[in-house]
Amino acid sequence: MITLKNDNLEFRFPEVHRDARCTIEFQRTLRIPDDDRDYPLPPGLGRFPLRHIDDFARRLPERWRRRGGVIMPMHQAEAMWISFGGYSGYPFAVKIATGKICAISGNPWMNHLNKDPKDYVVLPEQPWLDGYCVEKGVIRQFVAMPLGKGYTAEEQLTGAAQHGGLQIVVYPMKRKRYKQLMARATVGMGRSDELANVLYCSAPEPMGLSPGGRMRQEIYDDPYGLDAWDQKHSRRCFVTIANSTQWMAITGERPPTVPPSALEYTEAGLPWFEWYGGDVAAIDGARKLEKLASVAQLGKKKGERPLPENESVDVTQVVGLSAGGATLDREFTSDEILRS
Amino acid sequence: MTHFGKSIRSRREHLHLDDKRFSLRQVALRIGIEPAYLSKIERGEVSPPSEATTVRLAHELGEDPDVLLALAGKVSGDLQNIIRKRPKLFAELIRQLKEAPDHALLHVVREVRDGEW
C-alpha cells in the first residue's frame, strides 16, 4: 500500500515482508546555475506539500483525476530532488520517470525493470536522485517547466506534451533473497471554486520536468542483480505537478515560497554537499538523456530567457556526506536559512 | 527527569556514540536553541519546548514528530486543525478506533490511489 504521511509517500509491502517499507519525499531546493559547469549537491529546503488528487476531484480536469496519485506544487523554473528513506534495511528497486520518460535510461515508461540499459535505482544504496542521468557521475537537475513550451524531457524526446509530472514504481526485494541477505549479514544493516471552475473547464496543462544545470551525482549500479526484485509486487504513483496558481485554485493553500537563488545561498556562506557512496559502482549516463538540451540551452536557441537568476557561482564550502555517517542530512530548515 | 527529557537525552546520547555532531551543544545550535536550554529540557527542569522546536528536535534525532509531541503532552497543530474542522466526525472516529489493534488501524489508513496512466 502507498500512504501519505507528513508529505511523505510511504510504500509498504506487508504481503512480502513486514520490514518491506520505504518512503519517498520531494525536497525543495535552489536551482543550480545552468551554465555547463558541474556543481556539488545543493541543500534540501524542506518537503514539497503532497495531497491526494482525489480530494480535489471536482476541481480537476478528467485526465488529471484518471491518473490517481498525488498532486504537488512547483513554481515555474523551480528545482527539486527526490529523497529516499524510511527503510529498515530492506532493499528496493525504484523507477522514476518524468512525463513517462525514465530519468535513468531515457526510455519510455515500462511497468517492469530492465537491466540493459538499467532503468532503476536501488535503495538504500541510492539516498537521493536530483535529476536525469546524463553522464557517469553527472546528472542534470530536475527543473519544473510548463508543458507545451518544448523544454521538458518528455517533449524533447517524444515531441508530445502529453503526461508531465512524475511517475514512480517501487519493487521490494524478493522475500527469500532478503532472508538470505539477512542470514549472510555478520554485522548490522547499519546503512543503514470560481477559479477552480475555470481550471475544470479549461483543462490546463500541468507542469513537467526538464533538464537543468549539471550536478555531480553518481547513480549506483544494482549490487543484487535483476533477479533479486519481486516484480509480482509493485506499487505505482503518479505525481501531478501543478504550478503555484493552479495549486492555490485547486487546494486553497499557498504554495511554499520561491527558494533563494544559488548565488544568494552561496553568498550567505551556506554549504553545498558531496556524497561518497563507498565501493558501489556508478552506471554510465543514458545516451538518450545525454542528448537532451538543458533549459538554458534551449531557451537561447528559442530566443527566450526561461531561467531567471542563472548566474554562475563559485562554490567553496562543500560538506562531505557518506553512507557510514550517522546522518545523511542535507536538509535545512527555513529557520536555519533565515539565521544565516 | 520527565519521560520526554529522558527519551530525547537517551536518543541523542546514543547517536553521539557514533557521531560527535550529536553533542548537546551542536544539537541545540542546529535546532536553534541555547545549549543550556536543551540541557534543562533533557533534565526535566523546564517544560517541553514549543511544537516547532519539538518537531525540529524529532527530525534532528530521527524520531517521529508525532511520537515526540505526544511525549511532550502535545498534539500537532495540523492534527488539531483537522479535528476542529470536523470535530464531531473525528471525535467519533477516534473514540471508535481507540481499542483497535495496530494491524486493524492500518486497514483504515487511506491509500494513495493508482489510476490509468
pLDDT tens-digit series, residues A250-282: 999 999 999 999 999 999 888 999 988 777 899
CA distances A328 to A43, A128, A135, A335, Å, are 11, 10, 24, 20
Tell me: pLDDT of A85 over 60. yes
Partner residue opposite B117 with nearest CB, options A163, A333, A336: A163
CATH no., domain B3-71: 1.10.260.40
Q: Residue B12: what pLDDT?
A: 96
Residues from chain B contacting residue A235 (CB–CB below 8 Å): 114
- What mean pLDDT is predicted for residues B80-102? 89
Q: B20 to chain A: nearest residue by CA? A: A326
Judge whether B101 is closer than 8 Å to chain A, CB to CB. Answer: no
Q: Residue A338: what pLDDT?
A: 55
- Which positions ≥6 away from B21 have C-beta within 8 Å? A326, A327, B27
Q: What's the domain range around A175?
A: 2-259+281-308
Instruction: Tell me how many residue pairs between chain A and chain B have CB atoms under 8 A apart.
Output: 66
- What mean pLDDT is predicted for residues A190-211? 62
Q: Distance (Å) from the C-alpha of residue A304 to the closest C-alpha of chain B?
A: 32
CB-CB under 8 Å, B65 with A52:
no
Judge whether B102 is closer than 8 Å to chain A, CB to CB. Answer: no
- Which positions ≥6 away from A281 have C-beta within 8 Å? A220, A221
pLDDT tens for B3-25 read 899 999 999 999 999 899 999 99
Q: Residue B102: what pLDDT?
A: 80
- Domain annotation covers residue A27: yes
d(CA A87, CA B90): 30
ipTM above threshold 0.85: no
What's the number of domains chain A is made of?
1
Q: Which of A1, A5, A66, A331 to mutate to probe the B interface, most B CBs <10 Å?
A: A1
- Domain annotation covers residue A264: no
- What mean pLDDT is predicted for residues A201-208? 72
Partner residue opposite B114 with nearest CB, options A69, A325, A339: A69
Residues from chain B contacting residue A331 (CB–CB below 8 Å): 59
Partner residue opposite A326 with nearest CB, options B15, B30, B32: B15
Q: Residue A192: what pLDDT?
A: 40
Q: Give residue limits of the domains in chain B.
A: 3-71, 77-108
- Domain annotation covers residue A329: no
- Domain annotation covers residue A91: yes
- Domain annotation covers residue A322: no
Grid cell listed for B71 = 511525549
